[in-house]
Structure 1
Amino acid sequence: MSSVSKSNKPVNPNEYLDIPKWINEDYFRPIIEKDVENFASIVNFTPVAATAPGENYSSVMVRVVADILLKDGSQKQVSYILKTMLESKDGAELFNTRNLFSKETKMYEVHIPQFIKLYKEAGVDNIELAPKCVHIEVSPERSTLVLEDLKRQSFQNVDRLKGFDMPHIRRVLHKLAEFHAASARNFELNGPYDQIYSENIFTETFRPLFVGLYNHRQEQYFKAMRTWNLPKDEIERYIANFRTGEENFDASVKVSRVDENDFNVLNHGDSWSNNYMFNYKTNGAIDRSIFVDLQMCKWGSPANDLWYMIVTSASLDIKIKEFDHFIQIYHERLVECLKILKYGKHIPTLKELHIIMLKYGYWGPITADGVLAVTCLPTNKDANMKMMTNPGPEGDAYRYNMYTNQFYARAMEILLPFFECKGILRGD
C-alpha cells in the first residue's frame, strides 16, 4: 500500500487506475460518521489508488483520505482502504464469479471474530489476524469492503522482489499457524464451514478458461525457459515432460481435493508477501504482523498455504536451503496454538506434516508456473490481468517478458531441480 507524505497529502502510486465515480463524499459520509466519534462534516475528500500497478490483480483498491471537522470545531485527517470488484473490461471474469467477496465478507463478519474470541477465551489477548473492517456493502451493483488504513499505524509490506528474510518468514509462519489452529478448533466446535470455502479456482466451470490460458502461453514459456541459466539438456527434459493444459488442470483439481482423514484447516489461500504487513520497533525488529486480503480462503490441507508462501515469497537465498526448517518452524507454533486452544483431535507430528507436504506437493509447481511469475514482476503500468490473458501478439510479448524477467528466471532455476528431486514436478 502507498504511503501518505509528511504534508498529509495522499500520494497516488497508480495514475492509470480509473477510480469509480461513486467513491465520493456522499458515499463515505455515513461511513465516517459511524466510525469517528463527534464527526461533523468532510472538509476535503481525496481518493487515490492504494497500490502500484502489479501489486494487486483481483480487485480495485482505493485509499480514501479525508480531512474532517469534528463537533468541537477541531479538524483531523482519517484514511481508509476501499476494496471493490473489478470491472468486466479489466479481466474480471476469473475473480468476480468466484465468491471472493462473499468469502471475505464472511471472514470479517463471522470467522475472524470467532478465531480471536477462541484465543481470548484461552487467555491469549495479543493475537492479531486482520485489519478492522468498518463497512461492508453487498448489493446488485457491487460488493465493497472499507477497511482501516494500516499505514496509519506504520504497517508496511516487504519488498516483494526481495522476499522474506528469515525473521520475516518466521513471523509469517507463526501467523499462518495461529490462523490455521484457530480455524481447526472452530471447525471442531461449530462444524463445517460454508460450501463457498470448499471451492477454489480449479472448478469445471473454469476448465476451458484455464486450459486455454495454459496452452496458449506455452510457446512463450518454453521460449523463455531456453534463456534460463540451466543446462540445455535439463531444460529440454523439463519441456518434454511438461503437462498439457488438460493434464495440468486435472492434476490441479486432484491436489485441491480434501482428504478428511488428513489434518485440515481454513487456508488463507493467497499467502504471498503483499498480503502480510508489518510494523517495527525503533531498533528495526518486527513488532506486529497482520494478514490482509481474505478473498481466497479455502478449507483443505495447510500444505496449500505453506507451498504458496514459500514458493512466492521466501527470499532466494533461503527458499530451498531452509525449506525443511520452514516446516519445522510452522509445526512448532501450530502445535503450541492447538494445545492452547484445547484442540481435541489428532495433532500432526512433524514427520506427518512433511508427508502431507509431499502428498500435496503439486501446489509447488502450480504456484511457481502461475502466481510466482506475477509476483516477480517489477511494477509497470501494463501489469494487469487483461494484459496477462490477452491471446494476441501484444499478450505474447508481455508473457515472454514476464517469463524472462530476471527475478522469475533466477527463482525457477532453483525451483525446477528442487521440485524434480522431491518427485512432485508433474503431480503424478
Structure 2
Amino acid sequence: MTTEAKTDQTASKVPDWVQADLFVDVLKESVKGFSKIKSFKAAGGTAAGENYATVMLRVSIEVELEDGKEKSVSYMLKLPHDLEMYKKMMESNNIFEAEFNMYKTVVPELEQIYRDAGVEVKFGATAYELKGAKSDYILLEDLAPKGFKNTNRLEGLDQAHTEVALRKLSMWHAASAVRVATKGPYSDQLKDDGKEKSVSYMLKLPHDLEMYKKMMESNNIFEAEFNMYKTVVPELEQIYRDAGVEVKFGATAYELKGAKSDYILLEDLAPKGFKNTNRLDGLDQAHTEVALRKLSMWHAASAVRVATKGPYSDQLTIGFYKEELRPMLTEMNNNLQQNFLKSCKLYDGNEEYIDRVKEMQSQITDQIYKMSKIDENDFNALNHGDFWSNNMMYSHDSFGKIKEIRLVDFQIPKFGTVAQDLYYFLLSSTKLEDKIAKFDYYIKMYHECLLENLKILNYSKHVPTLREIHLTLFKYGFWGYLTASGVMSAVLVDPTETANFENFLSDSTEGNDFKMLLYSNSRYRKHIQIIMPWLLNRGAFDEL
C-alpha cells in the first residue's frame, strides 16, 4: 500500500472502514503478479430498487503488477443495513453467516459432486475473506467484467432465458438431493417455513461380549459416564459460573425412559458445527492448544471442587482400577504387550530399549495400579481418562478459525496425577513432527492456562510450578509408555473392518492379526520409533 492509493467514499452508504488496505490480501490471492494499489473507489453497486435485503457496493481498484503494468479489478461487497429492525432480525438469523457458508462450503460441495461425475459446473461467483472487516459482509468477484449482467426485471424473462435458468436450477436441485442421499441431511434444516425441524441424538450402547459384560459387573462404565454428565460435569461448569465465567465442557445428556439396557443419550453436536479432526493426521498446534486450554480448565475446576468439598467418591478416586478387575486387566495387558514386543523387534533402533520392554512384560498391570494410587503431595485433578482426538469435537467459523471445543466420552474418569491426561493426549493425538519437539512447549502452555484458571477460581491450596509439573511427568513417565504402546496404536491405525472392540480384547487369530496391524503399520512405526528412545532417555522405565 502506498500514498498513491486513493479512497473515494462519496457514496453515502460506504462505511468508513472500507479502505484500500483491507483488500491487499484479497488482491494477492486473486490477481496474479499483484504489486500495489494505485487507486481505490467504493460506490453503490446496484441501481435503486434492484436490491433490498443488503447494501451492495462495487469496489473498483487500479493495481500495479510486478512487471509494471496496470490492471483494473473490481469486487462486489455486500453489507448489512444499519436499521434496528434489521439488526434484531440478524440476531436470530444471521443471513451473512448463512450466505458465507453457502459460498465457502455448500456451493463448492455441489460443484464437486458434478466434477466427480465428469461434469464441470459453476453455480456462483468466487467469495473472498476480507480480514479486518468491521461488520458482517460478503465479498465476491465482480462478474460484470466477465460479461455477466442482469436482465430487465420489468420486462420479465423470455423463454430462452427462462429455460437456461430452469436448467441450472434443476442441476442445483439434483446435486443437493444427491448430497443428502449420500451424506445425510443438512444441519439444522428447517422445512415448511419453520414448522418442522430435523433433530438428532447420539445413543451409546454396550457391546454384547462376555468379557465386556464381566467388566461391566465390576465397573459399569455407563453408570460412571451418566453420573459424569448429570452430576460431575454440571458441577464443574457451575464452579466457573460462580466465578463469573461461562464454560461448557460437553454435550447435554438426556434420560431415555424405558430403555432395555445401559445407555448414554446425548445431543448430537454435529448440527451445531462440531466435528472430529482427522485422527490419522494428528492435531496441529492450534487445535492442540485449544484442547490443552480446555483440559486445564477441567483440571482446575476439579481441583477446586475437591479443595472445597472434599474428595470424590470411590467411583472417581479408584475408578477403573479396582482389585477385582486386576486379573482381567492383566490378561488384556499381556495380550497387547506380547504383540507389541513382536513388532518392537522390527523397529529401527530397538536395541536401545528392547531388553527393557521384555523385562516390563510381567510388570505392566502392577505398575498401573501403583500409579493409580493418589499421592497427596502431587497436584491432583479429575483426569478425563480417555483424552484423545476422537473424544473432542471442534467447531470453526466461516474462515476455519476454531470457535469452541466440546469433550465427549467420560467413561473412565480418574482423580489423580494430571500426568495421566497429559501423556495420554500429547503422545496419542498430536502431529508426528510436534509430538516430541513441542512436548515441553505444550506443557508450559498447559501450565500457564492452569495457573490462570486456578487464580480465577480462587484455588486455596499450593499452586504447582512449571518445574513441579515437569517433575510429576518424570515421576509418572510410565504413563507415556502405556499411551505409546496402547491407545496411540488405535489412534494411528487405518480404518479396517477388523478394528473393533472384540478384536482388541480377543486372543483369537483375527484378534492377534489386528493387534499386529496396530503395532506394525508404517504410520505407527514412525511415531513409536521416536517416542521409545525419548521415553528411555527420560527415565520412564526406571524403578518399576
CA shift for structure 1 position 114: 1.5
Residue 211, structure 1, aligned to residue 330, structure 2: yes
The answer as to 2:361 corresponding to 1:244 is: yes
For residue 251 of structure 2, the aligned residue among 128, 131, 148 is: 131
Q: Which has the higher contact order (CA 8 A, sep 6+)?
A: 1
Alignment-mate amino acid for residue 303 of structure 2: A
Picking from 93, 107, 111, the partner of 2:232 is 111
Query: In the aligned structure 1, how far is the partner of 2:217 from the partner of 2:429?
Result: 25
Give the whole-Å Cα distance in 2 for the aligned partners of 1:377 and 1:92: 26
Residue 375 of structure 1: how far off its partner (Å): 1.7
Aligned in 2, Cα 1:426/1:159: closer, same or farther, shift over 3 Å?
farther
Moved more, 101-110 or 355-364: 101-110
Q: Does structure 1 conserve the Cα–Cα contact (< 8 Å) formed by 2:451 and 2:463?
A: yes
Aligned equivalent of 1:267, options 365, 383, 396: 383
Residue 399 of structure 2 aligns to which amino acid in structure 1? N
Matched, 1:405 2:526: no
Corresponding residue for residue 165 of structure 1: 284
Amino acid paired to 2:351: D
Contact 1:270 1:308 in 2 (8 A): yes
1:250 alignment partner AA: D
1:140-193 deviations in whole A, cap 9, x for unaligned? x52222111100111011111111110011001100000111111111222211
Aligned equivalents of 1:167, 1:75: Cα separation in 2: 38
The answer on whether the counterparts of 1:105 and 1:136 sit within 8 Å (CA) in structure 2 is: no
For 2:248 and 2:450, locate their aligned partners in 1 and report how far apart those are by CA, in whole Å. Answer: 16
Which residue of the partner structure matches residue 102 of structure 1?
A: 223
Q: Does 2:221 correspond to 1:221?
A: no
CA distance in 1, matches of 2:412, 2:357: 30
Matched, 1:376 2:492: yes
In the other structure, the counterpart of 2:416 is 300
Q: TM-score, length-normalised on structure 1?
A: 0.78
Q: How far apart, in 1, do the equivalents of 2:265 and 2:289 lie? A: 29
Q: Is the 8 A contact 1:137 1:144 kept in 2?
A: no
- Unaligned ranges ≥5, structure 2: 1-104, 107-184
Distance in 2, Cα, partners of 1:188 & 1:306: 21
- Alignment partners' CA distance in 1, 2:232 and 2:357: 43
CA distance in 1, matches of 2:236, 2:405: 16
Render the CA deviation track for 1:4-57: whole Å, top value 9, x for unaligned: x98xxxxxxxxxxxxxxxxxxxxxxxxxxxxxxxxxxxxxxxxxxxxxxxxxxx
Q: 1: CA distance between counterparts of 2:389 and 2:343?
A: 25
Query: Structure 1 residue 227: deviation in Å?
Result: 2.5
Partner letter of residue 403 of structure 2? Answer: D
Amino acid at match of 1:399: K
Stretches of structure 1 lacking an aligned partner (at least 5 in a row):
7-62
Query: Is the 2:349–2:529 Cα contact (8 Å) retained in structure 1?
Result: no
Q: Contact (CA 8 Å) 1:269, 1:305: kept in 2 or not?
A: yes
Asked if structure 2 preserves the Cα contact closer than 8 Å seen for 1:85 and 1:96, the reply is: no
Deviation at 1:236, TM superposition (A): 4.2
Partners of 1:161 and 1:378 within 8 A in 2: yes
1:286 aligns to 2:402 (yes or no)? yes
Q: CA deviation at 1:260?
A: 1.5
In the alignment, is residue 339 of structure 1 matched against residue 455 of structure 2? yes
Secondary structure class of the residue paired with 2:301: helix
Q: Determine the C-alpha separation between the residues in 1 that align with 2:436 and 2:400.
A: 26
Measured in 2, the distance between the counterparts of 1:178 and 1:191 equals 19
Q: Secondary structure at the match of 1:299?
A: strand
**Structure 1, residues 297-328: CA drift from partner, whole Å, max 9, x if none?**
11101111101101111111000001111111
Q: Which amino acid aligns with 2:389?
A: S
Distance of 2:209 and 2:541 partners within structure 1:
34
8 Å contact from structure 1 (residues 156, 278) kept in 2? yes
* CA deviation after TM superposition for structure 1 residue 209, in Å: 2.3
Deviation (angstroms), 1:67: 10
User: Which of 302, 308, 321 is the equivalent residue of 1:189?
Assistant: 308
3-state SS of 2:410 partner: coil
Of stretches 279-288 and 105-114 in structure 1, the one that deviates more from structure 2 is 105-114
- Structure number with greater Rg is 2
Indicate yes or no: 2:430 matched with 1:314. yes
1:74 is displaced (CA, Å) by 2.5
Query: Structure 1 residues 151, 303: closer, same or farther in 2, change over 3 A?
Result: same
What's the offset of the Cα at 1:73? 9.5
Equivalent residue for 1:78, pick from 190, 199, 205: 199
Q: 1:153 aligns with which of 249, 272, 277?
A: 272
Q: Deviation of residue 232 (structure 1)? A: 5.4
| Cross-structure match for 1:23 | none
Partner of 1:19: none
Aligned-residue RMSD, C-alpha: 2.6
- Provide closer, same or farther for how the CA distance between residues 248 and 357 of structure 1 changes in structure 2, counting only shifts above 3 A: same
* Aligned counterparts of 1:219 and 1:333: Cα–Cα separation in 2: 39
Alignment counterpart, residue 386 of structure 1, candidates 502, 506, 509: 502
Shift of 1:206: 2.5
CA 1:75–1:336 in structure 2 vs 1: closer, same or farther (change >3 Å)?
same
Over residues 220-277 of structure 1, what are the superposed CA-to-partner deviations in whole Å (9 max), with x where a residue is unaligned? 333312322x13533644444x4133x1111111111101122111111100000111
Q: Is the 8 A contact 2:382 2:416 kept in 1?
A: yes
SS at match of 2:432: coil
- Provide the aligned length of Structure 1 versus Structure 2: 361
Moved more, 348-357 or 128-137: 128-137
> CA 1:136/1:143 → structure 2, altered by over 3 Å: closer, same or farther?
same
* Distance of aligned partners of 1:324 and 1:136 in 2 relative to their CA distance in 1, 3 Å threshold: farther
Q: C-alpha separation between the residues in 1 aligned to 2:524 and 2:488? A: 7
Q: Which runs of 4+ in 1 moved over 6 A?
A: 65-70
Percent identical? 33
